[in-house]
Amino acid sequence: MLLQQLINGLTLGSVYALIALGYTMVYGIIELINFAHGEIYMIGAYMGIVALAAAAALGLSEVSAALTLLGVFGAAMLYCGAYGVTMERVAYRPLRQAPRLSPLISALGMSIFLQNYVMLAQGARDKAFPALIGGGFEVGPARVTAIQLFIMATSLLLMFLLHTFVRRTRLGKAMRATAQDRRMAALVGINVDQIISVTFLIGSLLAGAAGVMVALYYGLVNFFIGYVAGIKAFTAAVLGGIGNIPGAMLGGLLLGLIESFGAGYISAEYKDVFAFAILVLVLIFRPAGLLGEQVPQRA
């Protein structure tokens, strides 16, 4: 039971972490809670279905399952990336100089718009996502499915890539500089608008991957999945310390574990309650999150 909940929790948690990264990176740069981020994840799941159908029609799925999987992820992630960048251009950039509440309201509007748009385009019913990865094995009393392993490994890989990008590359460093002092970043020659676009792009790529993975895991997709997943990932980001990239990873994993253990040992029906109770508790007792600011602003 313990081991089983641990495995389930880590699977769920790594997906939360991927989505939470998008919230936290955007918040780090422009101090906006992008409420439409969950919808990007939902669009990723739908795009997974579309890409899968396309792969089947092209005969790719008969040639190689691995290649199909790669194609589905690639398509969904790129599609979501385009959505994220466009969203920023249309809904947030024109409000860059506006009072802080305006982009927040714009984000809520974007979220409602995307949900309804997908509902009209794809229908309100659940859509089935074909199982691409089957099998699994027993570890003592617990069972690990191949799809769980796949989700954990892929998430880990993506987070490692992100970490390397942010730490080592010129663009990644410029992203951190912009998050720390946007005006100064402009004064050293960084094109801040471009960095903001890149931030939305990366967050949306990760959300797209998360969308496909959850669709693979549960086998069902509907237009509403982005809402709950979005709020949970937001909770994970706040738990880790909003604006903090390692914090989002940690917060996501912790939230997944808490939910899984709560569902296993207390009651599965209260699963969502745990997440939101955490959100309230963190906001009351430790609003800066677990990994809040680490270094003083000035000497």
Partner 1 sequence: MLRLEDVHTYYGNIHALRGVSLEVEEGEIVCLIGANGAGKSTTLMTISGVLRPARGRVLFGDEEIQEVRPDAIVARGICQVPEGRRIFPRLTVRENLEMGAFLRHDHRAVEAGLERVFTLFPVLRERVSQLGGTLSGGEQQMLAIARALMASPRLLLLDEPSLGLAPLMVQQIYAIIREINAAGTTIFLVEQNAHMALRVARRGYVMETGQVVLADRAPALLENEMVRKVYLGEV
- Phi, psi (degrees; rounded to nearest 5) at 145: -85, 160
How far is CA 74 from its chain centroid?
Answer: 16
Taking the least distance from each CB to partner 1, the nearer of 62 and 193 is: 193
Question: CA 179, CA 149: separation in Å to the nearest integer?
Answer: 34
Q: Supply the minimum distance, in Å, between the C-beta of residue 174 and partner 1.
A: 6
Taking the least distance from each CB to partner 1, the nearer of 125 and 170 is: 170
187 binds partner 1 (CB under 8 A): yes
299 binds partner 1 (CB under 8 A): yes
User: Which region among 15-23, 173-181, 197-205, 258-266 touches partner 1 (by CB under 8 A)?
Assistant: 173-181
Binding mask 190-229 for partner 1 (x = CB under 8 A): xxx-------------------------------------
Report whether 128 contacts 139 (CB < 8 A).
no
98 binds partner 1 (CB under 8 A): no
Taking the least distance from each CB to partner 1, the nearer of 127 and 173 is: 173
Between the alpha carbon of residue 263 and those of residues 225, 235, 243, 246, 256, the distances in Å are 19, 17, 29, 26, 11
Q: If we measure between CA atoms, which residue out of 131, 132, 151, 135 comes closest to residue 8?
A: 151
User: Which region among 101-109, 140-148, 177-185, 196-204 touches partner 1 (by CB under 8 A)?
Assistant: 177-185
The conformational region for residue 189 under phi > 0 = left, psi -120 to 50 = alpha, else beta, is left
User: Which region among 123-131, 135-143, 172-180, 253-261 touches partner 1 (by CB under 8 A)?
Assistant: 172-180
- Phi, psi (degrees; rounded to nearest 5) at 55: -65, -40
Interface ranges with partner 1 (CB under 8 A): 170, 173-174, 176-177, 180-181, 183-192, 294-299
